[in-house]
A and B are shown apart, each in its own frame.
Chain A
Amino acid sequence: MIPIPRMPGLLEGPTTQVGKPVSRVDGRLKVTGAARYAGEHAIPGLLHGYVVSSAIAKGRVTRIDTGKAMAVPGVVHILTHENRPDLAWLDRKWKDQDAPKGSPLRPLYDANVSHSLQPVALVVAESFEAARLAARLVEVAYEAEPHQTSLLMNRDITFTPGKDKGGFEPPPAPRGDADAALAAAEVSVDLEFTQAAEYHNPIEMHASTVEYHPDGSLTIHDKTQGVLNCQSWVCGVFNLPKSSVRVLSPFVGGAFGSGLRPQHQLFLAVLAALALKRSVRVELSRPQMFSFGHRPETWQRVALGASRDGTLTALVHEAVQESSQAENYVEIVVNWSGQQYRCDNVRLDYRLSRLDVHTPLDQRAPGAATGVPALEVAMDELAWKLGMDPIQLRLKNYAEADPNTGKPFSSKELRACFRQGAERFGWPDHLPPPRSMRDGRELVGWGMAAGVWDAMQNPASAKATLGANGKLSIATASSDIGTGTYTVLAQVAAEVLGLETADVAVEIGDSSLPQAPIQGGSWTVSSVGSAVKAACDQLAKRLHALARDAEGSPLAGVGSVRFADGHVVAQDDPSRRMPIQQVMRAAGLPVLEEKALSVPYALGRLRHTLGTHSAVFVEVRVDAELGTVRVTRVVSAIAAGRIINPKTAGSQILGAVVWGVGMALEEEAMTDHTLGRVMNHDLAEYHVPVSADIPDIDVVFVEEHDEVVNALGAKGVGEIGIVGVPAAISNAIFHATGVRVRDLPITVDKIRAGLAALP
């Protein structure tokens, strides 16, 4: 193969700003309450909308009586499918950037009800309280039709989706003959896994405040992971020009994927604002946070065959996930199994089953957090069957190149993750047998698992503006969903121009700023960080030229410069230097502005597989008699390229480990299939981990050098942190107790059933 040219503009070390554990630049605003979230903007004359949600899972609204509700003092209007204004009717107009194939939900479009809690009316009133009360008084009559909401009852009624969503790849074609190899394998495991649906439940509930201006234009404060996505969607649905719609979302109180698609509160707030020519806010209640998007319920089968020395000879991974009737939500569940380990006989199969539910939605490490844990539990079970250390089994079948494609990895320090993670954890050379470690009334167990996620990049733009005071501003339409984007963008910019991070102001979350992709997939540092770097590189180039040409410049004729301490400095002679501010003054320029578009390094990406990797080690303690579990130690070793900010990146991993604990042990949407409704729809009964559930978490970032992923060499860490955790916990529970639970979450009832069934 012809060697590919080196990526232009690679950030070289040593760095001064990049790599520093800088505290969040927006931290003070957030903890003092000065940061305003979407539902917190006070606007004179603001009206408040409250959603009426469907009581049935499927059927038709036959009558809506708004008489009592309209009589509530302060109620201005009640929007239903019967009185709504005209709306776009082409499906295309209702599509957003994250929409899968199919027909997106059109709230209040017609009388049809396709899922429980679907919005059927919006009450608009002068106060939130009046709107909420009136919403209770809207009388809705339904004609219910039979519904299906159970995946396990519909697991045989499936279809194979195509490339039905951006970023989705159907499984690769089979390699070899996996089923025959499985039947012939010296040692094998053949296992079924189920996993409950999970809801994102960010602490900030979805809200939109729509400011209606006298000229009919709108300023929208929305909880979203993509202001441009919402802007173009609103323009499409309501047939408005882009110039009339500005979407702002500078602060987001968590999202985890729930804000990737415009949600119905945005639609309803805009609908009401346009209909009434008034400013309107719609905020969902916590139960209504269960009315859209969720990590789909999943059934899986993983079968592995191996020879006695641990060489994998067969790998089958099948998955069935739920989607809605109208859209094909897909995520990559099984492909990882073909990528993680070397194996000649592989069959991967992914199907959907349609249920009468709202369309699922990407949730932190969508697909990987579902499929990889099943694979990693199966690897553990195989290791025990082989009598092999689980790390050794993984090393034995380590994939040096991507077995799915044959391409090399741009970088893959998974080996180092195993080594460093095991060392930090104190993983023994020989794991004691299951159920052999006891401390008082508790059984102690250790488990480990590997994780993998993509290292994606999307085109993005940024603007960098240098002021006469030497301060730099960065602007891009990206968002910061709590990940630390403000901070890392400032660090990248400061690095390029030799400034302090504190000298850089970052402006994001505004659709009038330069284009950036929705914030998801762990691609923001890669995409937007690269755009910021590109814009600052351009500024640097101009400063270099201006400095060289300035009258009496110490840098006259200098061909190569670097930037440090606010100066332009000759590369080979640090004594030849000029302050940036002086360069601008000399050129008579009060401001210097550059805008850049950065695109993925196509050639390099074409020739490589790019991903982040992890190894997670967990200790659990299980009460031998009660069956209750405590996670007592977690070590997570992560290989994700260059870490721009170990503090914010570390927080991403900490949070993701907490998510993994929730997925393994607690999170579960409990559906009443007679009603077709999730019943535990509040945070008292939909359990996520509390502080008392979380032990000290040790995060290790493994050194990894990557010259393909992007000019920063950074891969993004928002999602990799969760992927290995559920399996490591599950494996540790087995080690502690001898009980395998392959149905997440692993709650006390399931452990007790396993304990009771032990010989």
Chain B
Amino acid sequence: MRPFSYARPDSLDGALAELAGNQGAPDASAAPVRPVAGGTNLLDLMKADVMRPTRLVDITRLALRGITETGDGGLRLGALSTNAETAWDERVRARYPLLHKAILAGASAQLRNMATNGGNILQRTRCYYFYDTATPCNKRAPGSGCGALTGVNRIHAILGASEHCIATHPSDMAVALAALDATVRVAGPGGERAIPFADFHRLPGDTPHRETTLRPEEVVTAIDLPADNLARHSTYLKARDRASYAFALVSAAVALELEDGVVRGARLALGGVAHKPWRDRDAEALLVGKAPGRAAFAAVADAVLRDAKGHGHNTFKIGLARSVIVRAFEEAAGLEPS
């Protein structure tokens, strides 16, 4: 771990003043001054010498904790509310059971007690090479190459990857947030702005070290969930290598709006397959107007995975994703096994 200085401001303004010096850094994750919330990802990466901030701004005293009504029927999740608090909040359970399930599918009870909502969506890839400083990795050391592309890539991306990086975003929570059309609220020197969840994470392209559209001088303050009618027919399904405490090989957050046996709206976000939670609105639209059923779900899966590409060890994920999508929709629609 490199030496760093530490500040613990009491106010958002104080925190923003600390972060002001980051302006011009290529990406928030690589900026010299880093907010620290639960620390469960940042500290690990600092110990592994992967992240090397020179200053940590402890934001846990900021008034960014709590889950409140948005006024238009939605919920606002404080950036500093823990994953556990969020998952077990009665309103979240009743109105966004998909989010409840997705959070609980991740990490362990101990980690969820520490991890915050802001930190969760900003957690970084679990790519083996990213963690091992003796190996090439464009994300960690731009220009050094991508070790995973021709190396061990069992856990890597099948969608939206580039020849520069095939890493995945590891969060479960973020997959649910993508499906729920959440908005990330951020504060910066110029005031507040809202980033639609779909625009929050980037694809790797030729700049895999640029991970989000959060500016290095900004702080995530909350995540807004809009009101919706998705609670009844939604689920989160996670396929992984062991029953708990493993990142998703493939996960799916799905939700259906059903009316008179016909789909009026459909949501599908995939985890474990791309550099960001993967949404494909064209594929979702295929379901609208149809009766829920295996064939219709399979057609969505085929559409989502049309351009999927494996890299060797991870090629099985394409078929697995197909099965997971179909199963998740079946469960959401309440269809029994045939």
Show the binding face of A for B, using Cβ within 8 Å: 53, 55, 129, 132-133, 136, 287, 440-441, 625-628, 630, 665-666, 670-672, 674-675, 677, 679-682, 684-685, 687, 689-693, 747-749, 752-753, 756
Contacts and interface: CB of A to CB of B under 8 A. Distances in A.
B132 A681 contact: yes
Interface stretch (B59-67, B144-152, B211-219): B144-152
Interface in B243-261: 243-247, 249
Contacts of B2: 133, 136
A670 B249 CA distance: 16
B141 to A, nearest CB: 13
A679 B245 contact: no
B316 A748 contact: yes
B246 A687 contact: yes
B324 A687 contact: no
A675 B152 CA distance: 10
A670 B323 contact: no
A686 to B, nearest CB: 10
29 contacts: A133-B1, A136-B2, A136-B49, A441-B327, A441-B337, A625-B326, A626-B239, A626-B324, A626-B327, A671-B152, A672-B147, A675-B135, A675-B147, A677-B132, A677-B134, A679-B135, A679-B152, A680-B128, A681-B132, A684-B247, A685-B155, A687-B241, A689-B242, A690-B242, A692-B245, A693-B242, A747-B241, A748-B249, A752-B320
Given A693-B242, A748-B239, A749-B320, 13 more contacts: A132-B1, A133-B3, A441-B337, A625-B327, A626-B320, A626-B327, A670-B128, A671-B152, A675-B147, A677-B134, A681-B132, A692-B243, A752-B320
B242 A440 contact: no
Interface string B1-14: 11100000000000
A681 B129 CA distance: 10
B200 interface: no
Nearest to B131: A682
B154 interface: yes
Nearest to A441: B337
Contacts of A625: 323, 326-327
Contacts of A675: 135, 147, 151
A629 to B, nearest CB: 10
Nearest to A684: B126
Interface string B115-158: 00000000000101101111100000000000100111011000
Contact of B1 (A129, A440, A626, A628): A129
A433 B160 CA distance: 44
Nearest to B128: A679
Contacts of B151: 672, 674-675, 679
A425 to B, nearest CB: 22
B319 interface: yes
Interface in B286-328: 316, 319-320, 323-324, 326-327
Contacts of A129: 1
B152 A672 contact: yes
B45 to A, nearest CB: 12
Contacts of A672: 135, 147, 151-152
Main secondary structure of the interface of B (DSSP, over half): loop
A129 B4 CA distance: 12
Given A670-B152, A680-B152, A685-B128, A630 B241 contact: no
Contact of B244 (A665, A681, A684, A690): A690
Contacts of B129: 679
Nearest to B338: A441
Residue picked from B3, B239, B242, B246, most chain A C-beta under 10 Å: B242
A440 B134 CA distance: 47
Contacts of A685: 126, 128, 155
B92 to A, nearest CB: 23
A626 B330 CA distance: 13
Contact of B316 (A133, A441, A753): A753
B242 A630 contact: no
Contacts of B337: 440-441
Contacts of A681: 128, 132
B96 to A, nearest CB: 24
B187 to A, nearest CB: 32
The 8 closest A-B pairs by CB, nearest first: A749-B316, A55-B134, A692-B243, A679-B128, A692-B244, A672-B151, A441-B337, A679-B152
A627 B320 contact: yes
B132 A679 contact: yes
Given A55-B134, A672-B151, A630 B319 contact: no
Contacts of A440: 337
Contact of B243 (A55, A133, A690): A690
Contacts of A441: 327, 337
Contacts of A136: 2, 49, 133
Nearest to A287: B132
A756 B1 CA distance: 47
Contacts of B246: 687, 690
A106 to B, nearest CB: 22
Interface in B46-86: 47, 49
A324 B326 CA distance: 47
B150 to A, nearest CB: 7
A666 B129 CA distance: 21
A682 B128 CA distance: 9
A520 B327 CA distance: 47
Contacts of B3: 133
B319 A752 contact: yes
Nearest to A55: B134
A441 B131 CA distance: 37
Contacts of B128: 670, 679-681, 685
B244 A748 contact: no
A121 to B, nearest CB: 14
A665 B244 CA distance: 14
A271 to B, nearest CB: 23
A128 to B, nearest CB: 10
B191 to A, nearest CB: 38
A575 B135 CA distance: 78
A140 to B, nearest CB: 10
Nearest to B108: A690
Contacts of A684: 126, 247
A533 B249 CA distance: 54
Contacts of B320: 626-627, 748-749, 752
A405 B245 CA distance: 48
A300 B260 CA distance: 59
Contacts of B155: 685
A677 B135 contact: yes
Contacts of A626: 239, 320, 323-324, 327
Contacts of A674: 150-151
Contacts of B324: 626
A626 B150 CA distance: 26
Residue picked from B241, B319, B327, most chain A C-beta under 10 Å: B241
A255 B257 CA distance: 54
A739 to B, nearest CB: 14
A386 to B, nearest CB: 33
A355 B324 CA distance: 39
B242 A687 contact: yes
Contacts of B245: 690, 692
